[in-house]
Amino acid sequence: MKTIKNNLSYYYWHIPALIFFLVFLIYPLIFGIIISFFNWDGLNPNIFKNFAGISNYIKLFQDKLFWLSLRNTVYFTLGTVILQNFLGFFLAVFIFLSRIKQGSLIRSIIFLPGILSGVLVALIWRQLLMDDGAINLLLNFLGIPTIQFLANKYLAIWTVTLVNIWQFTGFNLVILYAGLQSINLELLESSSLDGANFWQNIFHIIFPILKPTIWLTVLFNFIGGFRVFDIIWNMTKGGPAHATEVLTTFVYLNSFGGVQSTNRMGYASAIATILMIVVLVFTILRTKYIRGDQ
Amino acid sequence: MKKVFLIFLVLLFSVSMVFAGIGCKGQTAETTAAETTAAETTAAETTAAETTAAETTAAAESVTIKMWDYQTAEAWNSAYNEIIAEFQKTYPNVTIERLAQTHEGGEELVKSSLLAGDYPDLVPIEPGFAESTVEAGYIIDLEPIIKADPEWFSWVEGYISDPGIPYKGKGIWRISADTYHIVVFYFKDIVKQYGGIDPARTITDYEENDKLFKAEGILTLGNTYQGNYQAANSFGVFVTQQVGNSKDAWEMFRQAANGEISWQNDIFKTALEGVVRLYALGSDDAISLAYDESVARLLGKKAVYNMYLGSWMLGDIEKQLASDVEAGNVGVLLYPAITDEIKTLFYGGGIGAHYSISSKPEGYKKEIVLKWAKFINSPQASAIFLKNSIMPAGAPVDNPGEIVSPFFTEYLNVVNNGQMTPQYNISLVNSNPEVGDTFLTGFAELFSGMTIDEYLANMDNVCGFKG
């Protein structure tokens, strides 16, 4: 009896968190999946008036814009994952190995953009990158013609990716630096004494030890890349000509419609469901891979 | 066992929340529909005559009216502050809260607030989502109410025949504070300084002037196509110029959008050539400018010509470019002609700040909301709008010449030399999301290397033209 009571009181403490989880995560998730099977315009209070079956999903896979936004999302995410981890790794290693006195100050400065609001970052960088912005003024001063960072449809996606990397590299740096704390410096010293050079230490000692931490940052960056919205919406609104349209902005566009046009909430929910499945599949595969690796 | 129980709990909770959601929404829809029918009848009877009961109630009950629109120019704030103060002389118990936002963010707010059920008493509904809004019962039909009030009807008769919000082949009436005209504001002193053609009438004139300005590192067009739908407006104007009247131009767009005629015709092609030629005179980032950035280029005097801004900007130009206006440096032009043969210059225009009335207010509050809506079109309000260089849509004013500024008079003289063409092409194509997106996004593609033939062929494909 006492054991049963103890077990029950153990669960009681979980109830508030469980309610929060159910109300703000599970319910919207299930509701979103359900309305993806209906043609709901997002305005009519009668949500379940027009049953669409799987037609929203069929339409989705035939929609050129969906594939374009998926492609852009992949570009953005790959750029983010690769560069953020590359920069974060080498910055962390540099600060760790150099044992620089201002190491924590440097880490804080690099991390600072990560605590700024995405909207603020986007608006500041937008002003800097415009034709008459500070960056183009500097380029013109150096004799370089104006670059259409945000208006050129080939350049725009990489511009917003770089802004995102600027904002969040500090996040990778902090996590990877924490991972480096587990490395015994004597190990590196002795390998150096045995003749290993800097790059051999990096690839044969540091990198293998840090692999689980790197996988963690890759996962975070991947999820962050797939759910990016604020930076892109406030810099380019998915333009020009959908060149920076990603899945989240595509969901938003269909949820609330463009200027003077109607909403397609059911369709937007279908897109969001696909987005969720992609991220879920990646997370499961990554977890399985790490377990196997270990 | 525990796992099964927990999973069952989760599912039960989720399903019950879903059914709770259905239940609430269903009741709201039924209640709103019934309220709308009853309220329309009540409002029509009440508004027709001012009753002693209403006046007595006015003294007793304080009311807050919320209104949203897209007029962010400072002159609008000045005008509305004065109009509200005037209204409050009769109704001191009424507070009016106005929220002005740009179109870009404002429309999203309107749609999400309608869904949330937390929308204002006077709300701007665009044709693109009008059908859903009307079907959901969020707004009332003003037609029977206005028709039952001869005074109000006489004030709005001039513009109320605008199709308004389309719904099942009929227009749902909405009131408007102003009528707008889209023009080109330019700086005469810069044109004169470099010996440019003034006034520039054709696109060729603009191109000749551009050669002079470019040599001096001056931007010819500041905000050529801020937002795709503004390129669409220019396209519409250039089509109308060739066709000769807006009715036939509108019919041409309608037929093309429905796949009845091909988009690949000489008129559309010439119009698009005009659009592309003009774009080349502006900065390459013009397509990605936000509205505020576009306005900043005009008010910051960063370019010679500034397109797709109109009458709603007059008050702000007078205030923020006061010295230039006083010196006669700010000029007004109609959209350029695509060829020398074009005799009549058209400009995009229509009713401006528009409001539909929410179906939420009841009883006394509803009376006051309707009185306020009527007051926006009253002669007193019209006079205040004119004083702030805003073109009122409502009742005419005696001796407007005594109120309007010299700059506004010059503006009106220019506009009266042209003809207005409504921006129906945008609304029309937006009624079909796929057509609308191809139409609007296509302009950005055009400016990024797509050919005109490819653009028109895409439109044929999307609109289902079989040949």
pLDDT digits (tens, 9 = 90+) for A103-143: 889 999 999 999 999 999 999 999 999 888 999 999 999 99
Pair B114, B197 in one domain: no
Transcribe B217-267 into DSSP letters.
T--SBSSTTSSHHHHHHHHHHHHHHHHSSHHHHHHHHHHHHTTSS-S-SHH
How far apart are alpha carbons B345 and A126 in whole angstroms? Answer: 36
Contacts of B431 in chain A (CB under 8 A): 262
Provide the terminal-to-terminal Cα distance of chain A, rounded to the nearest Å.
41
Q: pTM of the predicted model, to two decimals? A: 0.80
Contact (Cβ atoms closer than 8 angstroms) between residue B301 and residue B321: yes
**Assigned domain for B458 exists:** yes
Q: Would you tell me the crossing angle of helices A118-129 and A156-180 to the nearest 10 degrees?
A: 130
Please report, for residues A146, B107, B159, B211, the alpha-carbon distance to residue B102 in angstroms, rounded to integers and kept in the order given.
Answer: 29, 8, 23, 34
Pair B424, B383 in one domain: no
**Assigned domain for A141 exists:** yes
Instruction: State the residue range of the domain holding B310.
Output: 180-351+416-463
In the predicted structure, residue B49 carries a pLDDT above the cut 50: no
pLDDT for B3 equals 65
Contacts of A257 in chain B (CB under 8 A): 107, 111, 128-129, 433
Number of domains into which chain B is organized: 2
B260 close to A (CB below 8 A): no
Place of tokens 């590196």: A188
ipTM comes to: 0.74
In the predicted structure, residue B109 carries a pLDDT above the cut 80: yes
How far apart are alpha carbons B238 and B235 in whole angstroms? Answer: 5
How far apart are alpha carbons B307 and B295 in whole angstroms? Answer: 10
Number of domains into which chain A is organized: 1
Max Cα distance, chain B (Å): 89
Pair B154, B117 in one domain: yes
Instruction: State the residue range of the domain holding A268.
Output: 54-293
Pair B192, B160 in one domain: no
| Cβ neighbours of A90 (radius 10 Å) | 13
Pair B143, B103 in one domain: yes
**Assigned domain for B1 exists:** no
What residues contact A102, with CB distance under 8 A and at least 6 apart? none
Q: Do B433 and A261 touch (CB under 8 A)?
A: yes
Pair B152, B186 in one domain: no
Q: What are the counts of helices (DSSP H) followed by strands (DSSP E) for chain B?
A: 21, 12
The average pLDDT across B32-61 equals 44
**Assigned domain for A169 exists:** yes
Q: Do B29 and A46 touch (CB under 8 A)?
A: yes
Q: Do B25 and A47 touch (CB under 8 A)?
A: yes
**Phi, psi values for residue A154, rounded to 5°:** -90, -30
Pair B436, B454 in one domain: yes
Q: Do B285 and A236 touch (CB under 8 A)?
A: no
Pair B238, B157 in one domain: no
Q: Which of B10, B25, B126 sits opposite A26 (nearest CB)?
A: B10
Pair B316, B427 in one domain: yes
pLDDT for B198 equals 93
Please report, for residues B2, B13, B15, B18, B342, the alpha-carbon distance to residue B8 in angstroms, rounded to integers and kept in the order given.
Answer: 10, 9, 11, 15, 73
Mutate to test the interface with B, among A31, A236, A260 (most CBs of B within 10 A): A260
**Assigned domain for B160 exists:** yes
SS3 call for B395: coil
Q: Enter the tokens of residue B418.
A: 């042209």
What residues contact B424, with CB distance under 8 A and at least 6 apart? B236, B250, B253
B26 close to A (CB below 8 A): yes
**Assigned domain for A246 exists:** yes
The average pLDDT across B302-329 equals 91
Pair B164, B188 in one domain: no
Q: Give residue ranges of A with CB < 8 Å to any B CB.
A: 22-23, 26-27, 30-31, 34, 41-48, 65, 130-132, 146, 148, 150-153, 236-237, 239-242, 256-264
pLDDT tens digits for range B410-436: 998 998 888 888 776 666 665 677 787
pLDDT for B5 equals 67
**Assigned domain for A197 exists:** yes
Cis peptide before A240 (omega within 30 of 0): yes
**Assigned domain for B78 exists:** yes
Pair B202, B234 in one domain: yes
**Assigned domain for B408 exists:** no
**Assigned domain for B319 exists:** yes
Pair B283, B185 in one domain: yes
**Assigned domain for B70 exists:** yes
**Phi, psi values for residue B102, rounded to 5°:** -70, 160
**Assigned domain for B15 exists:** no
HEC letters along B159-215: HHCCCCEEECCEEECCEECEEEEEEEEEEHHHHHHCCCCCCCCEHHHHHHHHHHHHH
Q: Do B437 and A65 touch (CB under 8 A)?
A: yes
How far apart are alpha carbons A186 and A193 in whole angstroms? Answer: 10
The average pLDDT across B261-276 equals 94
**Phi, psi values for residue A106, rounded to 5°:** -65, -45
Please report, for residues A234, B186, B226, the alpha-carbon distance to residue B330 in angstroms, rounded to integers and kept in the order given.
Answer: 32, 6, 21
Domain of A169: which CATH number? 1.10.3720.10
pLDDT tens digits for range B236-260: 899 999 999 888 998 898 899 889 9
pLDDT tens digits for range B121-177: 999 988 778 888 888 899 998 999 999 999 999 999 888 866 666 677 777 888 999
The DSSP H or E segment spanning A269 is helix A265-293
Domain of B248: which CATH number? 3.40.190.10
Q: Do B107 and A259 touch (CB under 8 A)?
A: yes
> For a pLDDT cut of 90, what percent of chain B falls above it?
46
The average pLDDT across B76-85 equals 96
Contact (Cβ atoms closer than 8 angstroms) between residue A20 and residue A26: no
